[in-house]
Amino acid sequence: MAKPAYRYIYRALLRLHPPSFRERFAEEMMSTFAEASSNQSLLGLLADCFVSLTRQSLLRPNSWRVPVPEVVYATSTHVPLFAWERINVSAPGLSAGRWMQGSFISLALFAGAWMMAQTPHPRHARVVALQANGAVLNRTFPSNVENSGSYVPGSSSEGRYAIGSPSGDLREQQRGQQGLAMELPAEPDKTPGAPPFQTDTHGANVEVPQTPAGGQFSTWLKTFNDGDRTKIADFQKHFKNPPPQQNVEGELGFRRMTGGFELRKIEESTPTRITGVLQERGSDQFARFTMEVEPDGQHLISDWQLNAVATPADFTIPRMTEPQLIEAAKTRIDALVKQDQFSGAVLVTKSGKTVLSGAYGMADREKTIPNSLATKFRIGSMNKMFTATSVLQLVQAGKIKLGDPFGKYITDYPNKEVSSKVTIEQLLTHTGGTGDIFGPQFEQHRKDLRALQDYVNLYGTRGLEFTPGSRWEYSNYGFLLLGVVVERVSGKSYYDYVAQNVYAPAGMTSTASLSEDENVPGRSIGYTAMGGSLHPNTDTLPYRGTSAGGGYSTVEDLQRFASALLNHKLLNAEYTELLTTGKVETPGRGKYAFGFSDEGADSGARHFGHGGGAPGMNGDLKIYPQTGYVVAVLSNMDPPAASRVSDFIANRLPKN
């Protein structure tokens, strides 16, 4: 049996693990398989995977029933900030029936997989592969660069946070089970209607029922908002199943990101369960929480969930007049700068005329060089807009067909099955199943990946994550392949093509993707708080940006790009509409077009654009075709530094 068949079977076995295990360890295990398969027994590697599956069946039977939110690579210019969920597993003590059940499952799986191993068609192994139903995502950014997303800003939706995606970019990839713990002395159950705890929220007191669940929640909220490391560490051991102590650093980073929470509403309350709505102190982002506690003893926390949601109807943000917006935005930005939560540049225009502009903070803190409107900021996944525009130019010229498989243009692609099935349109909409580039392999080869072809050489033999066209899943690798397609069709390097056909016609003189070891005048230093205090993000950066993201630009250049699109300097009217109109529903509020998110149509404030983010960088561009507004915000700090500013402005922009 060929090596690819073993790989498919190995992947199928991983998919049979619990969602929580699969999303935390599957990528690492597949990487280990790839490295070990060259010098170890393939059957031995399959046996190791069986052992792992059996262990999960026997020792963690409940983990298959735990709902886990799907990871979302931000597809819009809105940046959700976090995703977490408490995952519980059963105690190690098991009944004889459970042991027998686990043994039967293990034997059945082994027999089925062995039969598949004898089949000469490796794709049959996919029949047993289960679709991953979610991922547990911590609130940190990847140490290896790029969401959105890469950490990209993305769209929030019920039960999810994406960190980020576009927006942002950040698989935001450091995955892990996250939990918060809180300490509450043992006390008798309190009944509903008892005197409530008082929590101040935006000048109003929201009453928290004085129940065991309410008491735990109130204690958590106060401790989290205080941000004291020792108290947060103490809380973790009071969960029913305490998380690892290293999660404390993640909680502190999450606290820095959100600024803490204000309680806005209690939705449900019983002695052992409480749900409600929170709002981040530093932004317009809302979240829905659920907490459950044990009915007896110390009322330890048995379940804790906190998920980003769209703004609830009860808290709709009113639109402002333009003068009101300018004043409110300045006040908000000044407050964020004072709290060291924003450093960057902001530019809002209407029909090409400046409405609001400003630069804040330092481009280089060591040399005390201030940011300006001309400062070059790294933009993360915002490069995808330029890549998609390039592809549509070649489509408009008749050199590329959207329905063609990308293998028609990359004829020497290593995996012929992949290149013959995935179309150009599917790459543009993140529906091709081509997967991501971040993980152990990327970290190992980060500085060696210098040309787009280097990525193909590294990842080109792997298979598909899912049947092309069957679902949406953010894929940086898909956009990297689009860059290679541009190179093959145009006969130019990707970098030369976008410089000559996108940047030059738009007048974008300060946008490029020069390597990080080149001295680029005016390019800011990115500062990240990941791992502790604020420090340069140098160790997280790739060699240079790609067609998937990682270049640099200015807010003025982004405005020029928006103007060139709206005035059809880059594409004619038909293809501009094709480029920017949403086509695929995403887990967020809008649709994904070709390298652009498309949002707000239902609210009468439609806009398209993209965000980007990674450690020490965050950006967002929102283009309003009906009103002529363009909002461009760039920052040299961790997400959501820029997106919280752009969202504040976008949520209050006049509709005309």
Question: What digits encode the pLDDT tens for the residues 163-184?
Answer: 223 333 333 332 232 222 222 2
Question: What digits encode the pLDDT tens for the residues 597-618?
Answer: 999 887 789 999 999 999 999 9
Percent of the chain with pLDDT over 90: 58
Q: Higher confidence at residue 170 or residue 389?
A: 389
Q: How many domains does the chain have?
A: 2
CA distances from residue 12 to 1, 98, 459 in whole angstroms, order as listed: 16, 24, 19
Indicate the residue among 281, 299, 317 that finishes a domain. 299
Q: Higher confidence at residue 502 or residue 24?
A: 502
> Amino acid letter at 575?
Y
Residue 143 lies in a domain: no
Q: What are phi and psi of 175, to 5 degrees?
A: -100, 150
Indicate the residue among 299, 330, 350 that finishes a domain. 299
CA distance 476 to 148: 9
The pLDDT, as a whole number, for residue 12 is 79
Question: Does the pLDDT at position 300 exceed 70?
Answer: yes
CA distance 619 to 168: 7
Residue 295 lies in a domain: yes
Residue 554 lies in a domain: no
Give the H/E segment covering residue 517. Answer: none
103/229 same-domain check: no
Q: Is 447 left (phi over 0), alpha (psi -120 to 50) or beta?
A: alpha
CA distance 273 to 220: 14
**180 near 198, Cβ under 8 Å?**
no
- Report the mean per-residue pLDDT for the chain: 79
Percent of the chain with pLDDT over 70: 72
Mean pLDDT, rounded, for 464-490? 97
The pLDDT, as a whole number, for residue 197 is 37
221/122 same-domain check: no
Residue 356, CA atoms < 13 Å, CB-side half-sphere: 24
Count of C-beta atoms within a 10 Å radius of residue 190: 16
Mean pLDDT, rounded, for 217-239? 92
14/104 same-domain check: yes
175 closest CA partner among 29, 355, 304: 29
Question: What digits encode the pLDDT tens for the residues 20-43?
Answer: 566 556 666 766 666 566 556 677
Q: Higher confidence at residue 111 or residue 580?
A: 580
Q: Higher confidence at residue 399 or residue 136?
A: 399
112/10 same-domain check: yes
Question: Does the pLDDT at position 17 exceed 70?
Answer: yes
Question: What digits encode the pLDDT tens for the residues 308-331?
Answer: 888 898 898 999 999 999 999 999
Residue 438 lies in a domain: no
Question: Does the pLDDT at position 162 exceed 50?
Answer: no
Residue 594 lies in a domain: no
Question: Does the pLDDT at position 460 exceed 70?
Answer: yes
Count of C-beta atoms within a 10 Å radius of residue 3: 13
| Residue 608 three-state SS | strand
130/202 same-domain check: no
Q: Higher confidence at residue 115 or residue 128?
A: 115
Give the H/E segment covering residue 306. Answer: strand 301-309
Residue 494 lies in a domain: no
The pLDDT, as a whole number, for residue 27 is 62
CA distance 81 to 341: 14
CA distance 652 to 656: 12
Give the H/E segment covering residue 591. Answer: strand 591-592
Residue 11 lies in a domain: yes
User: 233 lies in which domain range?
Assistant: 197-238+240-299
Helix 42-59 to helix 19-36 angle (10° resolution) is: 160
CA angle 485, 396, 456 (to 5 degrees): 5
542 closest CA partner among 563, 579, 516, 513: 516
Q: Higher confidence at residue 196 or residue 132?
A: 196
Residue 513 lies in a domain: no
9/127 same-domain check: yes
The pLDDT, as a whole number, for residue 232 is 92
Which token pair is 354? Answer: 């400046």
Beta-strand (E) ranges in 167-300? 168-169, 197-201, 204-208, 261-270, 273-280, 286-293
CA distance 355 to 378: 24
Buried/exposed 143-166: b ≥16 CB within 10 Å, e otherwise: bbbbbbbbbbbbbbbebbbbbbbb
The pLDDT, as a whole number, for residue 430 is 97
**627 near 656, Cβ under 8 Å?**
yes
| Residue 263 three-state SS | strand
Mean pLDDT, rounded, for 108-121? 43
Question: Does the pLDDT at position 87 exceed 50?
Answer: no
Q: What are phi and psi of 291, to 5 degrees?
A: -130, 135
Mean pLDDT, rounded, for 276-298? 93
Question: What digits encode the pLDDT tens for the residues 516-563?
Answer: 999 999 999 999 998 778 999 998 899 999 999 999 999 999 999 999
Q: Higher confidence at residue 401 or residue 78?
A: 401
Indicate the residue among 299, 328, 345 that finishes a domain. 299
123/20 same-domain check: yes
The pLDDT, as a whole number, for residue 355 is 97
The single residue listed with the structure tokens 């047993």 is: 128
126/3 same-domain check: yes
Mean pLDDT, rounded, for 363-391? 97
